[in-house]
Each structure stands twice: as C-alpha cells, then as structure tokens.
Structure 1
Amino acid sequence: MSLGLAPLPGVRVSLNELVALRHHIREFQLFSTASRRSPLVGLHHSRLRGRGVDFDQVRAYLPGDDVRSIDWRVTARTQEPHTKLYHEERERPVFILVEQSRRTFFGSGERLKSVLAAELASLIGWAALAHNDRVGGLVFSDREWHEIRPRRRKQSLLQFLNRLSHANQLLSSEHWSPGQEPFTIALRRSREVLRPGSLLFIICDERALGDQSEAQLSLLARHNDLVLMPLSDPLDHHLPQTGRLRFAQSGRELRLDTDLPSLQSGYDQIAEKRQQRWRNLAQRLAVPLLPLDTRQTGLQQLVQHLQPLSGR
C-alpha cells in the first residue's frame, strides 16, 4: 500500500488523488469510439480500411473501391462519387511507461515534474479502462522499476497507481548516481514484456533522451504504436536573470552569473537542441509528440493538446 505521508499539493501525490482523476476522463478524448473519432487518429484502430464495425470517414471514390460502400448522399451533393470507409477495431493493450526518478523531483511551476507525470499516467489509465482496454504499465525510478501486466481490471489499474504513488512519495533530493540510465533500462524491459501491436505512452523527463534510449524507442516503434510525452519545466529552457547564483551538492559547488549574455545564450541553445531532438525523433518514427510542462495540470494540457485536433 502507499505510504501514509500527507501529500503536499504539487510536490507529492497520493493514491486517493490519482484515483479521483477518473472523474475527469470525459473532459478529453484520447481513444476512438463508435460515435467519435480519436484526435490521435490511428492509435487505437487498425490501419486497415475495410468493412468493419465502425464508420470512419468519407473520401472520394477510387477505382477498386467496393461500390456497395458508395455514399449516395455525399455523391449527389458534390456531384462526385464518394465512398464510406470503416475501421476494423482490434484489441490493443495500453501500456504506460512513467518516470519517477530524482530528476523529475523538480519544478518551478504549479507542480513538480514527478507529480505531473503521475497525473498524466492516471488520466491515461482511467481513459483506457473506460474504453474497455487492457491497461498496464511500468513505473521506474533511479533505483528500481515496477511492472504491471496489462489487464482489463480495475484492480490491476489500482495496483499500478499504488506503485506510482508509492514511488512518488519516496522521491527526495538525496544524491543518487545510478550505474546505468534508468530510462534506457525501463525501455529495454518494456520491449521484453510488450506484445506486438501495443499502444505505449512514454511519460518521462525531457532530459532523459539519449543515444541508447533513442535506439530503444526506435526498436519499440517497429512493432508498437508510441505516444511521446516529454516533461519539462520553464527553468529547463531558460535561465532567469537573477545575478550570481551558488549551487552546492555532495561537497561540490557551482557558481554562475546568470546576467552573462553568453551563459544565457548557451543555455537556451542547449535547451533548443534537446527539444529539437524530440521533434526529430517523433518525425522519424511517425508518432505523436505531446510535450508538457509544470505550469499547468496534466488534465489542462491533455485537453489543450487534444481539443484542437478533434476540432479539425
């Protein structure tokens, strides 16, 4: 069970708070339904365009299309033949990879990145369960990871959220140097347990992406659909001009003059390269990229990301 620590708003998150997020899943549309098309088109339905169970769209008739699927109303209105397309739904496990490492124990906005990650994982989990999907995930920190196999049961999702809240409450500013990048280890483990055709949500610190983790993501994308959700804080992208600053940790000290234009410019360039690397990866793998930051709740940002898409 989760630790009995009192959660601090924006700093810690409790199991009860993660469970309560189930009441907000109607505020955004993550998956396709019989009556509504998913804003993230193609994530939850077969890419096959055949006769299936749910109507998908109408497009101009092409040679070879089944004449029985011609939409006569649209054809009459446009004076051009149009055909109805259907999608064939396939069962698809939903797997949520969520980071709770020491680097996510940071935030200058409304919440820490670790809290934002937990909120997002919970919202996605409840939305998937409401869509009657099998849901599972992997929670990883600097020291360990906990895996929950995808199942279509509320108890399974609660077990995942319990692991998530427990890992969140264990986070501290204590110095820890893992032997290997935890994100890479978690991705490698995901490759071992996921069945082909799974839908994988990647919720991690923006700074987690490196050569090894990028290679693992490329391998995962060969047989699964990915949604990349890197988390950042405004201070990850730009240093405030506050004069001289002193940082100390584990006997080491760093002094910076944040008023130096060269320091500001160099910091901004590093941040831009980091963001561009995510954009390049998403483009190369042809997967959705939903960057999020600590200035708003996970719910607010999901709504903002998905509503413009659904309105097209």
Structure 2
Amino acid sequence: MSKQDPRIYTNLSALLELRQDSRHLSLSPRYRPAGMLSGRHASRIKGRGLNFEELRQYQAGDNIRQIDSRVSARLGKPYVRVYSEETDRPVHIIVDQRLPMFFGSQVNTKSVTAAHLAALLAWQVFDGGDRVGGAVIGCRDMVQMPPKRSSNNVIQLLEAIVTANNQLDLASLKNSKQSTTTRSLLSQVRPLIATLNSQSVMILITDIEGVEIEELAELEVLSQKSNVLLFVIQDPLEDDLTAAHGLSVSYGELQINIQANAHNQLKYDELYQQRLASLKKATLTSALPVGLVNTYEPVITQLSRLLMGEPR
C-alpha cells in the first residue's frame, strides 16, 4: 500500500495548500451552524470574552447595565464596571486518527477526510485572529498542544496529524495502545475539557465509533459553558452494507470477499445503523451542533454547506 496515494494517506503539503480554501469559510462570533444537525435550539458560537479593567464613577453615556449596584449603594454614587474585549479565542481541534478511521470505499479514507477537515478549520481559525491548538489521537499515542496565535503552532498541529495518519496500517493494530484504540475520543481529552472556559472552542472530529451516545448529553452540558462542535466522518459503504456485496477487500496477501446477505445486514444494522440513528435522534433534541461529513465530496464544499448553510 503506497503512502504516495493521497486518497489513503495525507501529507503536509496537501494540508498547507488548504489554507487558501479556508478563507471562504466563516466561524464568526455570530456564527449559527445553519446546515448542521443543530436541533431545536439556536446554537451559536459564543462571543469573545470580556476582561475586567476598572471600577469608576458613572459618566454620561455609560451603559446603565454595567452599574455595580453593591458598590454604588456603599459609596452613595453610581459606579460602573469597565471591561475590555478579549482579542482572541482559544480553539482546540481534536482529531481522530485511529484505526477505525482507516477506511474508505470511494474517494478518500475517513482518516484523510478528517485531516482535510481539521486543516481547513485550523487555517480559518488562525486567519480569523484566534489561537489554534488541540490534540491528535493516533493508533500509537496522543499528541497535544496548547492554543497559540502562531502559524508555527498550526503547522505543528498539521504535522502531528500527518504523522499519526501515516502510521495507520494493519500492523499498527498490534502496536497500538489499548488506551487509544478502545476508549472514546471524549474520554481521552477530559483533562483538556477541564481547562475550557466560556470563550473556549472545542471541535471534535471523529467517526461513529469515536463517540458514545451517552456522551452526547455530556457534550451538550459542556456546550452551555464553552463552544463545542462535533463532526462525524462517514463513508457511504457504512450506510449501506449491501452495496459491498461481491467486493473484495485486500491488504497485501490478505483478501476477504464480502457477502452482504440479509443475516449479515441485520447484524451490521445492529452495530452501526442503530448507533447512527441514535446519534441523529439525540441531536434533534440537543443544542449541540453536529455535522456529518462524507468521504467522497470535497471537504471544503461540505464544510461551507455546514457552517454557512449553503444549499446542497
């Protein structure tokens, strides 16, 4: 299996080139995920935060909502609290590059699609003036970096994605750490979650195997304090196993012929389709923005549709 095939493995040059495409995207403070499965509540990215600067006597033209009633009552004169706006937001992009992502039936593997999605978001966030960081969870380990207002930090994040992506193969299953392969994505970044504040943004990029249904409630609670977005990567063959009937899957000398009979379809539906249906149902009653991204359409087209509500 050649690592030169961009449909199977990504490279740094490809992720760097996505910066130009990212300039057509928007994650503004007034952002509403018009095309995402955002449920019945209006979801939005919370605005940048305010830093307290000083307490001073009220002046004509001041916002009366900023009057500090306790201080004013104690001093007998109206006093206001003065704030200055923060100039950027810390954005954490969490990217799944574990073995379940190493699958694709048409154009790209899910792992390559996730890498492209992460790169587009990272560049858009950085060019928008915010700090970029995050974590890359691979089949061998997890690499984490704090958000910084630095292009070098973006490049380091992309390099970590490429490294984890290029380590994906069946041999990695033997060398993979139990903690990275069997645990959900969310469970591995809980120490990071503990550091989030009201201005933080956390973007999770994984597939249906990377998030437990019961964790959606936890993410929804978290989204009340911080900005949380979940992207789920899907391959069309995962939606309909019958389309794989008669196909041969090979890796080197290993080859398996897929027989998609009714019995196998039923078992598969229990494992995947019901899980996907539960995920979609949960998002319909949640304020959590969830976007489904497939492996065959250009990622920039899908992301524009999800973030900006462009028509299909």
State whether TM-score is above 0.5: yes
- Return the offset for 1:99: 0.3
- Return the offset for 1:13: 0.9
Counterpart of 1:263 in structure 2 is 264
Deviations 1:223-268 (A, max 9, x none): 311111011111111113565678899xxx998641x334335534
State the alpha-carbon separation in 2 of the partners of residues 192 and 7 from structure 1: 39
State the alpha-carbon separation in 2 of the partners of residues 247 and 21 from structure 1: 31
2:46/2:199 contact within 8 Å kept:
no
Return 5+ residue gaps in structure 1 as ranges. 49-65, 67-87
Q: Output aligned runs, 1:20-35, within 5 Å.
A: 20-32=17-29
Q: Output aligned runs, 1:78-117, within 5 Å.
A: 91-117=88-114
Query: Does the residue aligned with 1:290 lie in a helix, a strand or coil?
Result: strand
Asked if residue 145 in structure 1 is aligned to residue 142 in structure 2, the reply is yes
Instruction: Please provide the CA RMSD for this pair.
Output: 3.4
Distance 1:254 1:108, change over 3 A: closer
Moved more, 187-196 or 220-229: 187-196
In structure 1, what residue type is equivalent to 2:210?
A: A
Q: Output aligned runs, 1:58-73, within 5 Å.
A: none
Of 225, 232, 236, the match for 1:234: 236
Query: Does the residue aligned with 1:27 lie in a helix, a strand or coil?
Result: coil
Counterpart of 1:154 in structure 2 is 151
TM-score by length of 1: 0.72
- Give the paired residue count: 262
Q: Which structure's relative contact order is higher, taking Cα pairs within 8 Å and 6+ residues apart?
A: 2
Q: Output aligned runs, 1:147-296, within 5 Å.
A: 147-174=144-171, 175-176=173-174, 178-179=178-179, 180-210=182-212, 213-214=215-216, 217-218=219-220, 220-240=222-242, 243=245, 257-258=259-260, 260-268=261-269, 270-296=271-297
Counterpart of 2:55 in structure 1 is none
1:184/1:216 contact within 8 Å kept:
no
- Return the offset for 1:141: 1.6
Counterpart of 1:69 in structure 2 is none
Distance 1:291 1:89, change over 3 A: farther
In structure 2, what residue type is equivalent to 1:267?
A: Y
State the alpha-carbon separation in 2 of the partners of residues 242 and 104 from structure 1: 18
1:221/1:285 contact within 8 Å kept:
no
Distance 1:26 1:47, change over 3 A: same
TM-score by length of 2: 0.72
Counterpart of 2:5 in structure 1 is 8
State the alpha-carbon separation in 2 of the partners of residues 209 and 137 from structure 1: 17
Deviations 1:39-67 (A, max 9, x none): 4363142699xxxxxxxxxxxxxxxxx9x
